[in-house]
Amino acid sequence: MSIKKIGVFTSGGDSPGMNAAIRSAIRSTIYFGYEAAGIRRGYQGMIEGDINDMNGRSVANIIQRGGTILKSARSDEFRTAEGRKKAYENLKENNIDALIAIGGDGTFRGAKVFGEEFDFPIIGIPGTIDNDLIGTDFTLGYDTAVNTAVEAIDKIRDTAMAHDRLFIIEVMGRDAGLIALRSGIAGGAESILIPELKSDIEDMYATLKKGAAKGKLFSIVVVAEGDDAGGAFKVKELIESKFDQFDVKVTILGHIQRGGNPTCSDRVLASRLGLAAVEALDAGERGAMVGIVHSDVKLTPFEKAAKHKMEVDSQLARLATILS
């Protein structure tokens, strides 16, 4: 199948760096002599025909912007054969014969089904703040989200010290605790609770008790939202049931971690992956995600990138324990 026109879309949760990836993918598409199109609102926009041709100027002045100019949306309709058929018909009507999908594992699961169903070339770019995909050292938005969390932890630490308070800070990470782990280490947290490791509440108690015995009345506990302890408010209850000397407060960072200007690292990563995606399609590749592993571009089949989760770095986990 000869490719003449490549469509680019973003899907699932937004992440800083998506715009930089769109820019790179569109300009690389044009550089290789293909036509380019942008599909708004992910798979739902594909079903509804929300598709526009794009050129180099269409992506000017977006590399530094958070969010995604192509928007993102969930699509239950795309889960149905009828919905996917509508999407395919709209792509053909717009002369699109290959896709670049920017998103996470849900995006890639949809891409895998669609690509196999209609024999359609699709290459994925990992865009998720959770950094939970096999096949790339880092995903788009992870570095920015971690830096956003660290900045917030630093500011909360100031007020914790001023009032001798214990703050429990909840960061994003329903299934993956890498944001919590890295930001917790960088923020000097006394305890870090993540989904990948069973929470040792007794160990947290011991750490807090040890600090209190030394006269330390302010502390920081970082909790990933998907931790098995039950989230920040549940951890607050547990601590208050065990100690009466702590003034415990909760801060949930929430979607602030998804927004903001992408860091230099995320912009460069996005630029590399946008080009890599076009080069993969140009080389006849399909059904895979492009990633950077040890500084080199690597292709990982959708089924592996979508189904597997990255294991927590045991050295980082050990470091967090020693320094708490």
Lowest mean pLDDT among 27-31, 163-167, 308-312: 308-312
Confidence tier at 309 by pLDDT (50, 70, 90): low
Domain 143-258 classified CATH 3.30.1360.120?
Answer: no
Angle at CA 54, nearest 5°, toward 53 and 55?
140
CA dihedral 243, 201, 231, 189 (to 10 degrees): 80
Domain pair 5-141+262-307 / 143-258, same fold? yes
The CATH class, in words, for 5-141+262-307 is: alpha beta
In SS3 terms, 208-246 reads as HHHHHHCCCCCEEEEEECCCCCCCHHHHHHHHHHHCCCC
The fraction of the chain above a pLDDT of 70, given in percent, is 98
pTM to 2 decimal places: 0.93
| Residue 313 a catalytic site member | no
Confidence tier at 212 by pLDDT (50, 70, 90): confident
Mind listing the pLDDT tens digit for each residue in 3-58?
999 999 999 999 999 999 999 999 999 999 999 999 999 999 999 999 999 999 99
Domain extent listing, the chain = 5-141+262-307, 143-258
Q: Which residues pair with 9 in a beta bridge?
A: 39, 101
* Interatomic CA distance for residues 183 and 176, integer angstroms: 13
Which residue of the set 14, 97, 105, 130 is catalytic? 130
Mind listing the pLDDT tens digit for each residue in 274-286?
999 999 999 999 9
Report the largest interatomic distance among the alpha carbons of the chain, rounded to a whole angstrom: 71
Is the per-residue pLDDT at 244 higher than 90? no
| Helix orientation angle between 105-118 and 81-93, rounded to the nearest 10 degrees | 70
Mean pLDDT of 150-174: 93
Provide the pLDDT for residue 253.
96
